A and B are shown apart, each in its own frame.
Chain A
Amino acid sequence: MANNELKKEISNALENNVLRGALGRFAQAYPIAREKAFTGYDFEALRNKVQEVKSFAANNIDEMMDQFERNATARGSKVFRAANAQEANDYVKKVAESHNVKRIVKSKSMASEEILLNEALREDGIDVQETDLGEFIIALAGHHPSHMVLPAIHLTKEQVADLFTDYTKKKNDPVISYLVKTARTAMRKKFLEADMGISGANMAIAETGTLMMMTNEGNARLTSTIPKVHVYIVGIEKIIPKFMDASYILKTLPRNGTAQNITTYVSMYTGVTEAYLADGSKGTKDFHIVLLDNGRRNMLKDEKFKQIFNCVRCAACINVCPAFQLVGGHVYGGHAYTGGIGTLLTAFLTSEKTANKVQNLCLQCGKCKEVCAGKLDIPEMILELRNRNAAESGLPFTQKFALDVVSNRKLFHSMLRIASVAQKPFTRGQQVIRHLPMFLSGLTEGRSLPAVAEKPFRDIFPTIRQDVKNPKGTIALYAGCLLDFIYPKIGMGVIASLNEAGYKVIFPKEQSCCGAPATYMGDKENALKSAILNVEGLNSEKVDYVVSACPTCTHALKEYKDLLKDNPEMLKKAEDLDSKVFDFSKLITMLGGLDDKGDGEPLKVTYHDSCHLKRKLGVYQEQRDLLTNTNGVELIEMNESDRCCGFAGSYSIKFPEISGPILDRKIQNIVETGAEVVAVDCPGCLMQIAGGLDQTNHKIKVKHTAELLLEKRKNQQE
């Protein structure tokens, strides 16, 4: 899984201050610029249309390709269908050979990078020149792109100046405007000398046989205007049905990718155009379009992955990815595609092996899904990749062992009870563990770990007095491991609030780990085991609601119906559970909320949104209302409140080097608010953030909303 090679790549990337600086600055500026670009536009409506037209094309791919070919051919284009990289490369080589081509200029085409076209052409002794500024730079450096839209983002102007000095044999100063001029001058010569151009396209329109390209530098226009021969390499997923459908992509792609209202150039080619021939006369361009499959049809055949066809390659998903922002594209290993979407494309188009390795970098925070122009569920597809990989090759022994233990309630719980005693040397009488010895030390680097509670919630529960006159109903409390064994106080807060709302709370003792750790590590077998234990253990048919104070657990409980879809009897119970389980803040709000009974003591509170609660369960306003409706609480919103804290379950153990810096940024955002308390609704986030604050010696406390409400209202409750 997280093997040594990947670990080394991560460490190299993290040590590259240029990359981290550039990616970090971009990450800060991007969301604001993107929002501005979409002002006055209905992003949801637009991306619904993108999804509609792209999936229509995907579902009718044969008809679409026939239509495109017919219409493009009618206008003089020559269309070739390439099943794989070899066929595509051979075709381009043949075209080059037939025109005795010596020099080729290229404008950005990711598909050509995917099939390693440059390498194939150079074998024939042809000079192939990348003309896009970033691509030109990395070609000189001998690197692969580190970002889909900004391929040279990992290099400084000083490094670029050195590369240009070598290339031009003239001293280049590290002044960006000057470097751009150098590239302009050097490429101008290449454009004028070239006898063939190669480009990619953003859209291929079936109805009219038109290719559309969206670019900024002008190199694509020159590449397609000057040489007398031109080849477009177009993945079959670029086809859309109608000319007017282009509208949705023209409106979303540039705003999402670079926060531009429109790219500087949009060029539409329909069939052959006029060109200068070798003898200086004007004639007709030899115009070729290669429609590339190379694994794309396998994607289409796969129900779980066919939605990749809806991707418009805007790279918004990468722009918001907390892991990508730290390590950049090279770590993702694919020579063409990077980031989360890149992992999926790499799996089908270039290297399954690489994809299986780098899929581990996904935090499953779901931020990419929010901004995706094609409404792709990238995290879900990455998880599916993880599942298939685990099913095929199995999990490493230690991980499998840990998951087996967690899924065995009795064993796991007795181990936790032992741990509460055995941890004593490390806690030094405090509630946290700051240092662990030897190979475990990485776990406490940059954050402290909470100590296991002396008494688990399940032992405390029978001692809690619930004074509810004429109860309106009964609610089963699902605790989850963290609440049960680390943070029992949250459970008390949940009960107090639900009692106040008029409900009696029970604690079904047979409940067990929700199975999320197994699910997110790709271990379906143990996830299923947990599902059965809890569906039976919670017996939701006997209660009005099930409450959980951990959104990851809530989501896992809701998903049991998918795990149990082949077992009709269990499925019925799972569906009942799905309809009754709610997260704490959501349920309290549904039940009418709480009266303002705060103690009135002024308290500055900021709120951190958990990934699961906000993006999987759609709950973000309810808890804010509960907090602001508590006398004394002043809610101060932090910057990037819904950005992942870096916990992500076992991720923080597998990749502490990535999780750590993500946590640092969260801590910084928290500190900047000046709040005394950070409220959260997820015990996992609580553990991570509290650990980070403890090691940075900040006095800010982290509390679950239920716990905070209990504290602020306890004196008024009786």
Chain B
Amino acid sequence: MHIVNELYEKFKAKFEGVNGECYRVAQTGDLGDLMSDILTQKGVKTLSIFESPLSQAANLKEKLSKAGFEVHTDNLLATTAVDDAGITEVKWGIAELGTLVQIAPEVDNRLCSTLVPIHLALLKTSSILPELDDMLATIHSLPEIPSFVGFMSGPSRSSDIERTLEIGVHGPEQVIVILVDE
């Protein structure tokens, strides 16, 4: 657990360094309430979920619907184009860089993490790897390279106008990760 905490601390610092927001829960069961709070605080009314083991274990669709959010889980091209937020589970984190790593051959998984203004990612705390090279080696050791692997390090950004850094261009304007220990 000591190693996990160390990687978590490093990851959190780096992720916040690239303008991401980082939370941590002990139990899957705690996810619903925390997410509800975060989404309310951000003024979110509608959201899309790309269902994953964590989202299902936490029963997010039902909990968030009950909490008053309009929740979509299919036909996501139409919904992510208008929804306030998207929720996906990512496979790994890289502590060295504060990077979220998704394996997303499914188009909905990509839309739910790209087209929405707020991306809320779920990640198992134990899936944080120390360095970029560990990540590349892990991907490389899979039976085949997945058709899409995406690294995401914070919200989208650009310095194209007068070299002034602006957060939130075509991709998400806010990226939040919730790490789940269980």
A residues near B (Cβ < 8 Å) are 22, 25-26, 75, 131-134, 137, 150-153, 155-157, 160, 176-177, 179-181, 183-184, 187-188, 191-192, 208, 210, 216-219, 221-222, 225-226, 243-244, 246-247, 250-251, 258, 261-276, 280, 282
Contacts and interface: CB of A to CB of B under 8 A. Distances in A.
A129 to B, nearest CB: 12
Q: Which of B75, B99, B153, B154 has the most CB of A within 10 A?
A: B153
A265 B140 contact: no
A338 B11 CA distance: 37
Contacts of A180: 158, 161, 166, 168-169
B148 A222 contact: no
B156 A218 contact: yes
A268 B158 CA distance: 21
B159 A258 contact: yes
Contacts of B14: 261
B150 A176 contact: no
Contacts of A222: 114-115, 170-171
A269 B153 contact: no
Given A183-B169, A217-B170, A137 B160 contact: yes
Contact of B163 (A22, A137, A262): A22
A131 B160 CA distance: 12
A160 B107 CA distance: 34
Contact of B161 (A176, A247, A272, A276): A176
Interface in B65-86: 75, 77, 81
Given A132-B160, A150-B159, A216-B156, A265 B81 contact: no
B182 interface: no
Contacts of B144: 75, 270
13 contacts: A26-B163, A134-B158, A152-B161, A156-B162, A180-B168, A216-B156, A219-B169, A221-B110, A222-B115, A264-B157, A270-B148, A274-B106, A276-B107
Interface of B: 14, 18, 75, 77, 81, 97, 99, 105-107, 110-111, 114-115, 132-133, 136-137, 139-140, 144-164, 166, 168-172
B166 to A, nearest CB: 5
A266 B171 CA distance: 13
Nearest to A250: B132
B161 A273 contact: no
Contacts of A262: 97, 99, 132, 151, 153
Contacts of B106: 274
A187 B168 CA distance: 13
A196 to B, nearest CB: 16
Contacts of B164: 176
B162 A22 contact: yes
A218 B171 contact: yes
B158 A225 contact: no
A269 B148 contact: yes
Given A210-B145, A262-B99, A218 B133 contact: no
A110 to B, nearest CB: 15
A273 B178 CA distance: 27
A225 B172 CA distance: 15
Contacts of B115: 191, 222, 225-226
A23 to B, nearest CB: 9
Contacts of A271: 147
A58 to B, nearest CB: 22
A160 B147 CA distance: 38
A148 to B, nearest CB: 12
B83 to A, nearest CB: 13
Nearest to B19: A264
B81 A188 contact: yes
Contacts of B111: 225-226
Contact of A266 (B81, B150, B172): B150
B67 to A, nearest CB: 28
Nearest to B18: A264
A270 B147 contact: yes
A183 B168 CA distance: 11
B171 A265 contact: yes
Contact of A246 (B105, B136, B152, B171): B136
B161 A179 contact: yes
Contacts of B149: 267-268, 270
Given A216-B158, A219-B170, A261-B97, 6 more contacts: A176-B161, A183-B169, A217-B171, A218-B172, A247-B133, A262-B99
A540 to B, nearest CB: 50
Contact of A176 (B107, B140, B166, B171): B166
Contacts of B156: 216-218, 264-265
B145 A270 contact: yes
Contacts of A151: 160
Q: Which of B133, B146, B162, B164 has the most CB of A within 10 A?
A: B162
A217 B158 contact: yes
Nearest to A71: B145
Contacts of B169: 133, 180, 183-184, 216-219
B107 A273 contact: yes
Contacts of A265: 150-153, 156, 171
Given A244-B137, A247-B133, A276-B77, A150 B170 contact: no
B42 to A, nearest CB: 17
B114 A225 contact: yes
Contacts of B97: 261-262
Contacts of A270: 144-149
B160 A264 contact: no
A218 to B, nearest CB: 2
A156 B132 CA distance: 37
A511 B168 CA distance: 65
B74 to A, nearest CB: 11
Given A216-B156, A262-B153, A274 B162 contact: no
B136 A251 contact: no
A221 B154 CA distance: 14
A272 B147 CA distance: 7
Contacts of B107: 225, 273-276, 282
Contacts of A250: 132, 136
A221 B136 CA distance: 20
A160 B156 CA distance: 20
B148 A268 contact: yes
Contacts of B160: 132-134, 137, 150-153
Counting from the closest, the 4 A-B pairs by CB-CB distance are A218-B171, A134-B160, A218-B156, A266-B151
A208 B136 CA distance: 13
